[in-house]
């Protein structure tokens, strides 16, 4: 357990006593089961705990919880607004999700979008923010191995849930404009406080350049020329995706790589997931749904399935329009042609993200730098993302079909 991020057992118990007050427990006992592995989270760590307590009526209650704790490093907290990153996620769990659930139920929808962990509450101290979530592992959910592309059934499941999630914004914006705009305002305020932290444009430019160096002798010259031109546009692209989105805008997840999804399986068949839970909502914001879709697909898709992206987008569109209809709005509000046009404009965001994420997915645990240690050594936190991976063959195999696809379809 790292003392930079995590307190001792008595401190953890004090957090939980405060958060679980609404559960009407007289007293609780806490058993710490473990922590997340290195590389599972840059901005914080997870503590897994088992909690038992007695209610005032004498009944015993038990909880398997995951405590998501921000890093406590003063140097890191001063250089990067970790507090606002966590406050953004806390706002998603405290306000956006409850409002979305209530709105869907007001329309009589039985199968609402609720593909996220249950949140019991949060604790905020002087140097730490803590989200208390259900431990999805104890509910039968599993992470997909981050070095492997997702299977098609996993992709379909996520895309369908994104379709439902994005549709809620469209209808709420129309029918409850004041409430919806108030939520968007908070997200935009939080994002504004994060936008000046480090030169992430430089980080993405470095990642795209690294892909060029890896593949320049392997792929056709015209493909690599397109990639080189793409690299030269990164700073402009990074700013465009933050500020100049046109067309459909919704509240998006924003961090759509495969380490932020857990899947539940029936009968232990890892090829047939029955449910997905989406987590890490720290950079949720108001933007184009294409940012979620492209980031997810290009970061997770295999060489075989990338040929079916058009069909996958159709599946997303059907889920989106079906949920619009369930919410009582015309399914012609977002024609498939508009989605494809916006895919051509904004899917470069996913290409950019995949260039960085797939390098991380190819790296071994010992290669991933601790962001706190990087800053405490006097470097900028962005230096944590600039190290190269020794697994260059794996990285090439994960990114090569992405480069070929986006060049072939003139997405860059």
Please state the three-class secondary structure of the chain as a single string.
Answer: CCCCCCCCHHHHHHHHHHHHHHHCEEEEEEEEEEECCCCCCCCEEEEEEEEEEEECCCCEEEEEEEEEEECCCHHHHHHCCHHHHHHHHHHHHHHHHHHHHHHHHHCCCCCCCCCCCCEEEEEECCCCEEEEEECHHHHCEEECCCCCCCCHHHHHHHHHHHHHHHHHHHHHHHHCHHHHHHHHHHHHHHHHHHCCCCCHHHHHHHHHHHHHHHHCCCCCHHHHHHHHHHHHCHHHHHHHHHHCCCCCCEEECCCCCHHHEEEEECCCCCCCEEEEEECCCCCCEEECHHHHHHHHHHHHCCCCHHHHHHHHHHHHHHHHHHHHHHCCCCCCCCCHHHHHHHHHHHCHHHHHHHHHHHHHHHCCHHHCCCHHHHHHCCCCHHHHHCCCCCCHHHHHHHHHHHHHHHHHCCCC
Please state the φ and ψ torsions of residue 406, each to the nearest 5 degrees.
-70, -30
> Considering the chain, what percentage of its residues have pLDDT values greater than 90?
69
pLDDT at 39 over 80: no
Task: Give the pLDDT band (50/70/90) at residue 387.
Answer: confident
Please state the φ and ψ torsions of residue 386, each to the nearest 5 degrees.
-95, -10
pLDDT at 8 over 50: yes
Q: Which residue has the higher pLDDT, 387 or 289?
A: 289
**If one looks up domain 73-117+141-408 in CATH, what number appears?**
3.90.1200
> Considering the chain, what percentage of its residues have pLDDT values greater than 70?
94
* pLDDT tens readout for residues 145-173: 999 999 999 999 999 999 999 999 999 99
pLDDT score of 40: 58
pLDDT score of 306: 97
Residue that the structure tokens 């108001």 belong to = 286
* pLDDT tens readout for residues 320-347: 999 999 999 977 889 999 999 999 999 9
* pLDDT tens readout for residues 48-107: 999 999 988 889 999 999 999 998 888 788 776 778 889 999 999 999 999 999 999 999
Q: Which residue has the higher pLDDT, 372 or 123?
A: 123
pLDDT at 46 over 90: yes
Whole-number Å distance between alpha carbons of 109 and 363: 43
Of the listed ranges 52-66, 102-116, 233-247, 300-314, the one predicted with least confidence:
233-247
Task: Give the pLDDT band (50/70/90) at residue 1.
Answer: very low
Q: What pairs with residue 25 in β-bridges?
A: 55
Task: Give the pLDDT band (50/70/90) at residue 282.
Answer: very high
Whole-number Å distance between alpha carbons of 368 and 38: 7
β-bridge pairing 25-35 and 44-55: antiparallel
């Amino acid at each position: 357990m790292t003392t930079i991020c995590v307190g001792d057992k008595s401190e953890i118990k004090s957090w939980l006593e405060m958060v679980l007050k609404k559960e009407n427990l007289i007293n609780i006992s806490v058993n710490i089961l473990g922590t997340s592995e290195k590389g599972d989270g840059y901005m914080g760590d997870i503590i897994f705990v088992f909690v038992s307590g007695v209610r005032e009526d004498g009944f015993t209650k038990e909880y398997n919880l995951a405590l998501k704790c921000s890093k406590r490093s003063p140097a890191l907290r001063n250089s990067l607004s970790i507090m606002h990153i966590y406050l953004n996620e806390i706002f998603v769990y405290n306000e956006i999700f409850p409002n979305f659930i209530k709105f869907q139920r007001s329309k009589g929808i039985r199968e609402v979008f609720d593909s996220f962990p249950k949140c019991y509450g949060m604790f905020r101290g002087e140097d730490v923010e803590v989200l208390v979530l259900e431990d999805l592992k104890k509910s039968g959910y599993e992470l997909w191995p981050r070095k492997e592309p997702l299977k098609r059934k996993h992709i379909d499941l996520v895309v369908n849930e994104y379709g439902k999630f994005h549709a809620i914004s469209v209808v709420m914006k129309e029918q409850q404009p004041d409430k919806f705009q108030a939520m968007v305002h908070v997200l935009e305020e939080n994002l504004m406080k994060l936008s000046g932290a480090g030169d992430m444009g430089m980080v993405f430019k470095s990642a795209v350049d690294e892909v060029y160096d890896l593949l320049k002798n392997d792929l056709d010259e015209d493909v690599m020329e397109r990639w080189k031109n793409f690299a030269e546009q990164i700073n402009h692209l990074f700013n465009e995706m933050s500020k100049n989105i046109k067309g459909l805008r919704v509240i998006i997840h924003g961090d759509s790589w495969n380490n932020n999804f857990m899947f539940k399986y029936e009968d232990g068949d890892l090829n047939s997931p029955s449910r997905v839970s989406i987590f890490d909502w720290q950079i949720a914001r108001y933007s184009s749904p294409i940012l979620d879709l492209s980031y997810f697909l290009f970061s997770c898709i295999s060489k075989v399935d990338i040929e079916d992206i058009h069909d996958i987008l159709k599946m997303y569109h059907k889920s989106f329009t079906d949920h619009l209809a369930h919410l009582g709005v015309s399914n012609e509000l977002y024609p498939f042609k508009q989605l494809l046009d916006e895919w051509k404009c904004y899917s470069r965001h996913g290409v950019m993200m995949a260039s960085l994420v797939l390098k991380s997915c190819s790296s071994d645990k010992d290669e991933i730098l601790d962001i706190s240690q990087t800053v405490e050594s006097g470097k900028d936190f962005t230096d944590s993302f600039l190290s190269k991976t020794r697994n260059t063959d794996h990285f090439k195999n994960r990114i090569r079909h992405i480069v070929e696809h986006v060049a072939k379809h003139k997405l860059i």
